[in-house]
Structure 1
Amino acid sequence: MAYFERLGPGSFRPTDHVSGAWDESTQHIGPALGLLVHAVELELAGRRDDPMVISRLTYELLGVVPMDAVEVEVEVIRPGRTIELVEATYSHGDRTGIRLRAWLQQPRDTGAIAGDAFDPLPPPEEMEPWDPTSVWGGGYLASARVRRDSRGPGRARYWVRTDVPLLAAEEVSPLARMTALVDIANGMAIRADPAVVTFPNIDLTAHLVRSPAGEWLGFDTRVTFGPGGLGLTASVIHDESGPVGTVSQSLTVRP
């Protein structure tokens, strides 16, 4: 069973694998983030025949979405020959639950000057398996396979993969498949017991330096709670070849 089944050109039904960690009657937004990337890539392929790559994904989480069919729409906000801004929305009925704005760029060869200053991440086989359902409920977290090195409250390194396809009977890109995993970061480096403190994220931004490859997505994550109800989950993301980019999530912290 996949995370979603396609009902029509822009309509999709979530399966039980999409149920949320905070409330199982609503969707975990993780799979939806990947579905929106897939929609952006399909719209791009139908409109242009030259290559473009996604360099930034910013998701505004406008409200919870029930475990029901949704509609996805894509619009070009800023067309361009080498740089474009595209918006995609994820709606239930007349209410938009998620809005994505994605920057796309025309690729060019910068291999001769490529490099990074991020700390390396140990490979998956050097970390112990960890069961996220020991802390979290919902079908989405149950669908994840995690290997984790916890380093105390709010600090962890870990690798995540899933055997669940993003969309039934439809091929998706490695980026769309991996993007369906990035929102998991807020539940992997736990700073406070979620039975005592809730800390859902209200947005997510991913900055990418390349598209991920392989089955595992790695995270080096730090979670910070401020003194006034605000929080931040900040991660460097990797595949098994090295860093892919960063992911940040604004939190609303509610004891």
Structure 2
Amino acid sequence: MEGTSSLVTKALAITSALYLTACSGGDISRLKAQAIASSPSFTIGQAFDHRNACAEVSWNESTDDRGRKVIEYRCTFKVDKSYYEKSQQAAIDQLNKAMSREQEGYESGLSQQAKTLDDRQKQEAAMESQLEQQSSAANPDALFLSHQIDRMKQDTASFTAEYQQKKANEQQALTQIQNNYQASIAKVKANGLITGATETFQWTVNDSGNTLIAGSIDIQTDNGKTSHQDYSDTLIDRAIDAIVRNEASDLPTYVRKVFVF
């Protein structure tokens, strides 16, 4: 049977080990044990460590250039590249359809103008035929009809000039429509496909507790670019609410919950 001194020695050794472990991650542990102000039934650790949208999370402690202790949390999101490939192709398909509709609309407009011009010319011919049947140029009806014909000819001449100009520019207009949409398609492709995303939150550590000072998201694309977005106070509140609810299981859903008002 072990002596009392032996048990005390072992107890002290265990206590020392636990103390060292707590000290090594003490600030982070204390932060993770802190209740979320807007959802006090959750601690920061419960909410931030168990997110359906994150492939992995990490916590690190450092000192910033102003000598403050800073705890940084990072969530590396799950990213399904095929989702973004389909989204990009859907956007391109929509632009191609819109281009076709606009080109068809231009051609349809020309066809309608041609029909209108033909109808006006037939109406003029009918009115002129009616005028020839008048027995006297002094006839009030004939004078009124002649005036109507003159007005119609003026309008038809203007309408004809407009139609001819539009018809002459038809190919140029169709090409311009195509170029505009091709430029939009090129821009969609240049934006690249999302290949990764990381969300970051930072807290300062002090004697009075921990203070959340920043939140941001970085999104990487397959063209080598990274888009950085700092969170405003409103976005931080919305992000924390989304984290607590944990309804988003992927990046697109999470982004909609935070950024779509």
TM class, shorter-length: under 0.3
Whichever of the two has the greater Rg, that structure is 2
Which structure has the higher relative contact order (CA within 8 Å, separation 6+)? 2
Q: Higher helix share goes to which structure?
A: 2
Q: TM-score, normalised by structure 2?
A: 0.21
